[in-house]
Amino acid sequence: MQAVYDRKKRGLRHFLREALAGTSQDFTQGSLSRGIALLALPTMLEMAMESTFAIVDAFWVARLGTDAVAAVGITEAMVILVFSIGIGLSMAAGAMVARRIGEHDPEGAAVAAAQAIAAGVAISAVTGTLGAVFAPRLLALMDASPAVIATGARFSRIVLGANGCIILLFLINGIFRGAGDAVLSMRTLWLANLVNLALDPCFIYGLWRFPRLGVTGAAVATTTGRSIGVLFQLFLLWQGRGRVKLRRRHLRIHWPVLRPLLRVAATAIAQYFIATASWLGLARLNAAFGSAAVAGYTLAIRVITFFILPSWGISAAVATLVGQNLGARQPERAERAVWLAGRYNMAFLTAVGVGVFAFAGPLASLFSNDPEVRRITATCLRFISAGYPCYAWGMTMEQAFNGAGDSTTPTWLNLGCYWMLQIPLASVLSMATPLGARGVYAAIAGAETVLAAAGVTMFRRGRWKTVKL
């Protein structure tokens, strides 16, 4: 018995070393369960680090006053569009690179990566220029007060003007994940976040020999961290540390590759924006029930986002496995990977959902001392956690489509389930029934359930297997 335990312990240590140091496994062969785990673990850690950017900024900026906090919050709302562009490009690049890697065509993967980076640079040059020039006007359009505009104009100019580092960070990490090098994405985010963590208090409060820049310092620190992360990514690509190796011959426009990449990216950008905008719509409906409802909803969403991070990692692994196995002309293996990952995802989120439902009250107490806010937070957690098993399948199916290069199907699914179902349902349940704010929470669980069912139905039809990239 002890010998069996020791073997399992050694096997687990070996797996963790491989997952965190990088793997040379061919994901078109071998165990699918192992492949999912090797891709998911570093992606989970990557996403956890990405979420700390805003948390670290908020922690240090909170001491500067409400105007500074408001400037950061409003700017982050505008940066959602930048995130949409970065994530859309990363989905398209990841799908195309995965397909080429599955075909054992590293040259094609490098060409696709170069085209995606070129598109990212061109788009960020335009959006960055507009953002830097019109930052104060954009703050005014977001109903920022004159005091907030005066405090945060330079912060917004830097963040919006340097949005290229955000777009490229998402984009190149998508290339790494598509190639099966998820650990390189993880290392990039760890590096960028450590730089941001170290520089934030230095630039904000003028520690040591750094200038005291106030809220502007948060923009300088975050932009510096992300820029260093992008430089590190380019170094990894140029040095050939992963499966994709860039060379001078790849640095030219290749329209036969760029055109389909932009086509997939356009619908992927719309897909993410539709989902994000729906959450903003729900937040606005919830705001009608007072500040306690806003605080409770905000806290609940943060808790839910934290607990769902591992599930996003599993879903990202699906995209890589689907893309590479379609490239290897193994659609049946790609399909098996999706069903297997979906079951793992459902098992994980069901367990999490039970825990969140059971301990909603204590979880809410960790974040607020206000009895009313705690009550609303706990209620929201219970409603939304009831739909966790369905969220698992919804995320898995959407990433399966994206990995295949079919970003159109999940875009229509998001449009139908979020804008045409979730928001109208939330409005009716919250305004025309005794549920009140609970109607918003019920609509979230209901729409996600419909999304999962529709996603599974569309996936079974198999159209995604025929997408050409």
Whether 287 and 65 have beta carbons less than 8 Å apart is answered as: no
Q: Last residue of some domain: 198, 219, 253?
A: 253
Number of structural domains in the chain: 2
Mean of pLDDT values over 224-230: 96
pLDDT tens for residues 141-200? Answer: 877 888 888 988 999 999 999 999 999 999 999 999 999 999 999 999 999 989 998 999
Instruction: Answer whether residue 17 is part of any domain.
Output: no
> How distant, in Å, are the alpha carbons of 28, 57, 143, 156, 461 from that of 152?
49, 14, 13, 6, 50
**Position 63 confidence tier, pLDDT thresholds 50, 70, 90:** confident
Average pLDDT score over the chain: 90
Q: Which of 46-55, 319-328, 389-398, 413-422 has the lowest mean pLDDT?
A: 46-55
Whether residues 344 and 247 share a domain: the answer is no
Burial of 225 (0-12, 13-18, 19+ CB in 10 A): buried
Q: 21-37 b/e with 16+ CB inside 10 Å = b?
A: ebbeeebbeeebeebbb
Instruction: Answer whether residue 15 is part of any domain.
Output: no
- Compute the distance between CA of residue 73 and CA of residue 401 in angstroms, rounded to an integer: 32
- Compute the distance between CA of residue 60 and CA of residue 62 in angstroms, rounded to an integer: 6
Q: Is 89 left (phi over 0), alpha (psi -120 to 50) or beta?
A: alpha
Whether residues 247 and 277 share a domain: the answer is no
Residue 233 pLDDT greater than 80, yes or no: yes
- pLDDT of 3 reads 60
Q: Last residue of some domain: 253, 280, 305?
A: 253
pLDDT tens for residues 106-146? Answer: 999 999 999 999 999 999 999 999 999 999 998 888 778 88
- pLDDT of 307 reads 79
Contacts of 9 (CB under 8 A, 6+ apart): none
Question: Among candidates 29, 36, 14, which has minimal Cα distance to 400?
Answer: 36
Instruction: Answer whether residue 291 is part of any domain.
Output: yes
Whether 386 and 352 have beta carbons less than 8 Å apart is answered as: no
Count of C-beta atoms within a 10 Å radius of residue 332: 9
Whether residues 271 and 225 share a domain: the answer is no
Whether 413 and 450 have beta carbons less than 8 Å apart is answered as: no
- Compute the distance between CA of residue 72 and CA of residue 57 in angstroms, rounded to an integer: 8
- pLDDT of 159 reads 93
Whether residues 210 and 353 share a domain: the answer is no
Whether residues 170 and 312 share a domain: the answer is no
pLDDT tens for residues 194-226? Answer: 999 899 999 999 998 899 999 999 999 999 999
- pLDDT of 462 reads 94
**Position 57 confidence tier, pLDDT thresholds 50, 70, 90:** low
Whether residues 329 and 239 share a domain: the answer is no
pLDDT tens for residues 307-347? Answer: 787 888 899 999 999 999 999 999 999 999 999 999 999 99
The token duo for 457 is: 């139905």
- pLDDT of 269 reads 93
Residue 8 pLDDT greater than 70, yes or no: no
Mean of pLDDT values over 276-302: 82
The token duo for 424 is: 């109208």
- pLDDT of 21 reads 80
Instruction: Answer whether residue 4 is part of any domain.
Output: no
Whether residues 206 and 307 share a domain: the answer is no
Find how far residue 407's CA is from the centre of its chain. 16
Instruction: Answer whether residue 283 is part of any domain.
Output: yes
Whether residues 170 and 282 share a domain: the answer is no
Per the structure, the complete domain to which residue 457 belongs is given by: 267-469
Whether residues 275 and 249 share a domain: the answer is no
Instruction: Answer whether residue 24 is part of any domain.
Output: no
- pLDDT of 31 reads 92
- pLDDT of 51 reads 64
pLDDT tens for residues 67-78? Answer: 887 787 778 778
- Compute the distance between CA of residue 216 and CA of residue 329 in angstroms, rounded to an integer: 51
Whether residues 116 and 204 share a domain: the answer is yes
Instruction: Answer whether residue 10 is part of any domain.
Output: no
Instruction: Answer whether residue 290 is part of any domain.
Output: yes
- pLDDT of 356 reads 92
Please state the length of the chain: 469
Count of C-beta atoms within a 10 Å radius of residue 185: 30
Whether residues 162 and 220 share a domain: the answer is yes
Contacts of 270 (CB under 8 A, 6+ apart): 88, 411
Q: Last residue of some domain: 220, 253, 286?
A: 253
Whether 32 and 314 have beta carbons less than 8 Å apart is answered as: no
Q: What is the DSSP letter of 432?
A: S
pLDDT tens for residues 433-467? Answer: 999 999 999 999 999 999 999 999 999 999 999 99
Whether residues 203 and 332 share a domain: the answer is no
* Residue scoring higher pLDDT (239 or 47): 239
Q: Helix (H, G, I), strand (E, B), or coil: what is residue 202?
A: helix
